[in-house]
Amino acid sequence: MSIRYAFGGDEHIFVEIDEAMSLEAFFQTLSLSKAVRESRIAGVSEICPANASLQIRFDPDRIAPDDLLREIRALETAAKRAEPVLRTRIVDIPVFYGDPWTHETMMRFRERHQDPAATDLEYAARVNGFAGVEDFIAAHAGAPWFVSMVGFVAGLPFMYQMVERERQLQVPKYLRPRTDTPKLTIGHGGCFGCIYSVRGAGGYQMFGVTPMPIYDPQQQISYLREFMIFFNPGDIVRFRPIDRAGYDAACDDVAAGRFEPAIRPAVFSLDAFRADPIACNAALLEAGHDA
């Protein structure tokens, strides 16, 4: 990978690790972000990692742009040599696939879709070569997902499924974006999954909803009191299908302040994943199942 640098105005440096998203690019992004953070370069105020890039904000009155660029370049080698092991957490996310709320929304916007006669799940199953929706859901929930970045809107996680590239689920975005998407919709566009943290516009295919809040600006939800945003880059997500009864019960727990997400610490090794993705994922999913 050849890293590319570009200045953004007077206060930002954009660092592109690779043009394509991959777990390798993701790990190098995290490694370089960590190296910059730990180096405590004078004038650096923010470091924002993304799928295969990062952006650094700095104060040009404290450090000249070219001087900062030299400092970052000096950290490249160490970041590339960093052991690709991540101490993280596995989060169990319950999902009500094919729910009535995203169904009602998609019906209002069918003229913006590639196949107005099919639901988003039906379309996704067909273009990915599955026999039907149930098989597609099994594939969607059957392998864990990396949170590769958080943003676009507050608290929204972008996720990359941890499978071989040829097994990546891929679905194009709507032909024209919707003006409405239910809060906590499980979305998918290209090879990326997401969870819509708030209600609003969107163009990703809609597969279902989760009852688990992931963003609380009032910080009244128990597990969001310390920080209003739930996800961090590097989190591992396990989607768990639930039915309407399970969804309603979880919503009742959220309203009563009883809901607590199932979280378990984990160690992910990129080398182990490369050697045997199926065995690596099985171990991670078992850990998530026991949480």
Domains of the chain by start residue, with CATH: 4-82 (3.30.1360.40), 87-290 (2.40.100.10)
Task: Encode pLDDT of 122-178 as tens digits.
Answer: 999 999 999 999 999 999 999 999 999 998 899 999 999 999 888 999 999 999 999
Q: Which residues of 119-134 are buried (b: 16+ CB within 10 A; e: fewer)?
A: bbbbbbbbbbebeebe
Q: What is the pLDDT of residue 19?
A: 87
pTM: 0.89
Residue 291, pLDDT > 60, answer: no
Average pLDDT score over residue span 51-56: 92
Other CB atoms within 10 Å distance of the CB of residue 58 = 24
- 4, 10, 11, 16: CA torsion to nearest 10: -10
Task: Encode pLDDT of 7-17 as tens digits.
Answer: 998 999 999 99
- Is the pLDDT higher at 183 or at 84? 183
Average pLDDT score over residue span 209-234: 96
Q: What is the pLDDT of residue 94?
A: 98
pLDDT bucket at 290, cuts 50 / 70 / 90:
very low
Percentage, residues of the chain above pLDDT 70: 98
Residue closest to 270 by CA, chosen among 3, 19, 13, 23: 23
When the pLDDT of each residue in the chain is averaged and rounded to a whole number, the result is 93
Residue 289, pLDDT > 90, answer: no
Q: What is the pLDDT of residue 73?
A: 93
The residues near 142 (Cβ < 8 Å, ≥ 6 apart) are none
Residue 51, pLDDT > 50, answer: yes
Q: What is the pLDDT of residue 214?
A: 98
Average pLDDT score over residue span 78-99: 88
Q: What is the pLDDT of residue 82?
A: 66
Residue 288, pLDDT > 80, answer: no
- 159 CB burial (10 A radius; 0-12, 13-18, 19+): buried
